[in-house]
Amino acid sequence: MTKAVYTIFFDEKLDLVVMEWNDYATSREFREGTELMLDLLIKHNCSRVLADIQDMTIIGLEDKIWMENDFLPRAIRQGFKSIAIITPKAYFNKVAVEDISYKIDKKKLTLHFFDNLEEGKQWLQTLPK
C-alpha cells in the first residue's frame, strides 16, 4: 500500500488547515494540493495553515515561480494570513521553501519554520483567527 502524496484537511478543533506532504509530488499534484488548501481556507473562513512538509522532497522551479507569482498573491487576497512550516528534511526542498519565504511580504503573510508539528500548532494558536 502506498502512502498518499498529500493529505489536506480542515482541523475544526484548531480552526486551521493542515497540509501533510510526503515524498515527491508531480507539478499537477503540487498545484492540486495547494489549491485544495486555499479552497478549504475560503470554505471555512480561515486564515491559518499548518504545513508539514518535512517529508516532501522538492518543489520544481516552475512550481516555485507559480507559488511566488500566482498562488501566494491570490491566497493572500482571499485571507491567507499565517503559516507554520515544518522544515523539510531534504536539502534542496529546504532551500526552495526558504527562497519562497524570503520573497513573501511579511506584512501580509506571517511565516515561521519549526522542527516539529507541536511547536507549529502552538505558535498558530497564538495568532488571530
Q: Residue 91: its pLDDT value, please?
A: 86
Note the pLDDT tens digit of each residue in 40-68.
999 999 999 999 999 998 899 999 999 99
Q: Residue 2: its pLDDT value, please?
A: 52
Q: Residue 87: its pLDDT value, please?
A: 94
**Spatial CB neighbours of 21, under 8 Å, sequence gap ≥ 6:** 5, 6, 33, 51, 52, 53, 55, 56
Amino acid identity, residue 119? E
d(CA 93, CA 79) in angstroms, rounded, equals 26
Query: Which residues, given as ranges, of the chain have pLDDT below 50?
Result: 1
Determine contact, residues 62/74, Cβ cutoff 8 Å.
no
Q: Which long-range contacts (CB under 8 A, 24 or more apart) does 94-102 make?
A: 96/58, 96/59, 96/64, 97/53, 97/59, 99/64, 100/59, 100/64, 100/67, 100/68, 100/72
Determine contact, residues 120/14, Cβ cutoff 8 Å.
no
Full set of structural domains in the chain with CATH: 6-125 (3.30.750.24)
Cell numbers for 102: 524570503
Nearest CA-CA partner of 84 in 41, 49, 37, 44 = 49
Determine contact, residues 27/61, Cβ cutoff 8 Å.
no
Cell numbers for 6: 498529500
